[in-house]
Chain A
Amino acid sequence: MAVDKNMPILIVDDYKTMLRIIKNLLKQLGFDNVDEATDGGDALTKLKEKPYSLVISDWNMEPMTGYELLKTMRADEQFKAVPFVMITAESKPENVIAAKQAGVNNYIVKPFNADTLKTKLMSVLGPF
């Protein structure tokens, strides 16, 4: 099934620069329906207001981290199946293991480039 590039995507990061970078990259890949949140709590609020097809989130945010957001989503029937990609500077093996065990669909370390984002998104959504 072809990937719907109009799917609503939620990107979560406490740095405005990173939100802008990811949004621009998604736009170049053809994904224009992108909303932003500044931490896990803000993301949860938005998730309850609109059905997102993908969440791309940073880890290290306050007051709610991306890891906490992921765990909360996976524990909630409403959000447990929403694909979740972590984009983070946290690159230790224990981070990758913890995220995988919590149900993350893919893991990107910063700094990253457009090709990496595309490859990881395709592995989660299918080819586009």
Chain B
Amino acid sequence: MSGTQPMNMQTKLGSSLLKSLIQLREQKGSILIEDVGAILQNVAESLHPAASQADQFLRQEIAKMAQYITDARQEIYSLIPPTEQNGKPVPSAAEQLDVVIKATEEAAGTVMDTAEEMQTIAKKLGNTPEAQKLTELSNRLFDACSFQDLTGQRVTKVMRSFGEIEERIAKLVQLFGAVPSDFGGPRSNGSKPTREDAHLLNGPQMPGEAPDQAAIDALFEGLKN
């Protein structure tokens, strides 16, 4: 077998593949990866059983590519979280985190209600050490409740990441073609508006990394108007 024979076969296969893809696009308007996998499979099977060693090798490689596409599809589909289990809708990760935010908000609300009651009692006690102590304690409770704002922001950041991952998975699923029957579509929050300060929206920094108020004051005062 001459060195040009495998090249001729590759060129023929390449042309055949390209022709099939063009025909498919004309018929369907778009080509899905699933379609590419099917075409590769057909090409592999169409090679003559008595083909040369080089052709057999080529056939095997094409069959491997087709199998790879099938396996990749299965893996992508396995990433889709179930939308239903035992007949009940399954909340998404974002929905579950939303519940966390609401629960912490409720807890903080209860603490602040208590703190306000303490302030009311302190007022009735007049200018006494007990009143001052109660006021101090209630202020400490209010200060502590600011945790809910910061944890809420961190959780919201995670929720957004989950939302983006879910959108990407949905796009991959659509790209790969066959959509499972129970796939409800992407849980998209819609397109995000572009904003001038998008690059400045980082949320709370990690403990130990965030500058304290004194450092912020130094920077702020040092900036000219």
Residue from B148, B200, B203, B216 having most chain A Cβ neighbours under 10 A? B200
Give the number of chain B interface residues (Cβ < 8 Å).
37
A-B contacts, 16 of them at CB < 8 A, read A15-B149, A15-B153, A16-B109, A17-B105, A60-B153, A65-B201, A67-B197, A90-B201, A90-B203, A91-B210, A92-B205, A96-B216, A97-B223, A107-B220, A108-B216, A112-B213
With A17-B145, A109-B210, A113-B143 known to touch, is A95 a contact of B204 (CB < 8 Å)?
no
Q: Are B201 and A60 in contact (CB under 8 A)?
A: yes
Contact indicator A60/B203 (Cβ below 8 Å): yes
Instruction: Tell me whether B152 and A91 are in contact (CB under 8 A).
Output: no
Q: Decide: A68 and B220 in contact? CB cutoff 8 A.
A: no
* A28 to B120 alpha-carbon distance, docked (Å): 12
Tell me, in angstroms, the Cα distance from A94 to B211 when the chains sit together. 12
The tally of residues in A whose CB lies under 8 Å from a CB in B reads 39
Contact with A along B198-225 (1 / 0, CB 8 A): 0011111100001111001001100101
A5, CB-defined interface residue at 8 Å: no
A53 contacts B by Cβ under 8 Å: no
A27 to chain B, nearest CB (A): 9
Would A91 and B116 count as touching, CB distance under 8 A? no
Q: Check B197–A110 contact: CB distance below 8 A.
A: no
- What A residues does B210 contact at CB under 8 A? 91, 109
Q: CB distance B149 to A110 under 8 Å?
A: yes
